[in-house]
Amino acid sequence: MIEADATRRVLEVNERIRMVEPVQTYADESRTRKGTKAVIRFPVKVGDTWRDEFTEEGEFRLEIGGYRYDYEEVADSKAAGWEEISIGAGTFTALRIDRIAIWRKSNPRLLDKKSALAEHMEPPKPSRELKGATVSQYWYVPAIGRVVLQAQAQTKWPQFVEGSSLLKNPSANVIELTGYRDSKIDCTGEKPAFAQRSDAPPLGFAVMPNNTWTWAFQMRAHYPRQTD
């Protein structure tokens, strides 16, 4: 996290992508979004359910080049219950949010047609698309007003991804809080208990690397367009 205030938090992902999260929804900001995204809908209590639906432009950047694409998502979320979790920053009582998002990525567009990425990838066409799902869990701690642990896995078949084992899923990416400080709480931080970055192919998709757009879509998480 590189900056924060009462309404939003600004994070840097992979040293290349700047993400802005509104505190009231935990949804990353997007300059092209049509519709609503709400990872958490406040006020929230155990048993609450909600659905959100939106479209926007996605963007991914690498050292060898970048691309944009069209993105559609429909997601169902539920406040599943209270859990005690022990992570790098300490032990907390957290409300677990379960979320299943069904998405479609399509119409890839290179940012630079002369880049090394352009030479590597198959020619982009509007017909290139991939449909899949992202299964996520978030552990929200009211005492410090933020999500302290989140796990996320992409898959073709969300019904085969067990939520109870998402933290141990080799294809899941897990982010956790390792330190926290405000006027009342000071967590100096220890080694992460669950954090992991996965390079494993998502369940149900191709397993052999290739230069197709479907491979790029399946292996890279969605990020909304942030640049002009």
pLDDT tens for residues 152-205?
Answer: 999 998 887 866 678 988 889 998 888 766 656 666 667 889 999 888 888 899
Write down the pLDDT at residue 14. Answer: 46
Contact criterion met (CB below 8 Å) for 196 and 111? no
Listing DSSP states for 51-68 in one string gives EEEEEEEEEEEETTEEEE
How would you write the pLDDT of the chain (228 residues) with one tens digit per residue? 555 666 666 655 544 555 666 667 888 888 999 999 999 999 999 999 999 999 999 999 989 999 999 999 999 999 999 999 999 888 999 999 999 999 999 999 999 999 999 999 999 999 999 999 999 999 999 988 888 999 999 999 888 786 667 898 888 999 888 876 665 666 666 788 999 988 888 889 988 999 999 999 999 989 999 877
Alpha carbon distances (Å) from 181 to 92, 157, 178: 14, 39, 11
Write down the pLDDT at residue 87. Answer: 93
**165-195 in b/e burial notation, b at 16+ Cβ within 10 A?**
ebbebebbbbbbbbebeeeeeebeeeebebb
The model carries a pTM of 0.86
Alpha carbon distances (Å) from 211 to 14, 116, 163, 171, 197: 22, 12, 31, 20, 22
Any idea what the Cα angle at residue 220 is, between residues 89 and 202, rounded to 5°?
Answer: 85
Contact criterion met (CB below 8 Å) for 219 and 132? no
Write down the pLDDT at residue 50. Answer: 98
Dist CA 1 CA 156 (whole Å): 31
